[in-house]
Structure 1
Amino acid sequence: MSAGTRETRDSAVNWRMVSAMVVVAGALLFIGANAHLVYVALGSQPDCVPHEKADGNGTYRAARSAC
């Protein structure tokens, strides 16, 4: 009778370990994706683009020139 309980106990421990590893892998993937997003956002600064500097009727222009 103790062999049956031992087998169930080992199986539960293995599934608990697998579940923990899946959670850790998901958390690492989430952290890595966000770190990459921040890296790309900070590293991709656009160059100065020519735009309309005078007030225009019905056209879009930059609120403040960065050039």
Structure 2
Amino acid sequence: MLLDTKLPAHYIFRGIWPDVVRVLLISSFFHFLKLALGAYLPPVPLQLPTILGSLISLLLAFKTNQSYER
């Protein structure tokens, strides 16, 4: 979508700042949790999130395609 006028930055940030703060707080919590419990957490192999991400994307693509057929 092309706009003739530019949107002011404060208009955009006013709408997204609660989400930015929420993500910052949640990510900070998990970062400090990892720092505190880092020795007790088992290592996660890289294949696990890769395979899970691929499976979830295939499932979502199948569901989207199935909903278009209706």
TM value normalised by structure 1: 0.38
* Larger fraction in helix: 2
Higher relative contact order (CA 8 A, sep 6+): 1
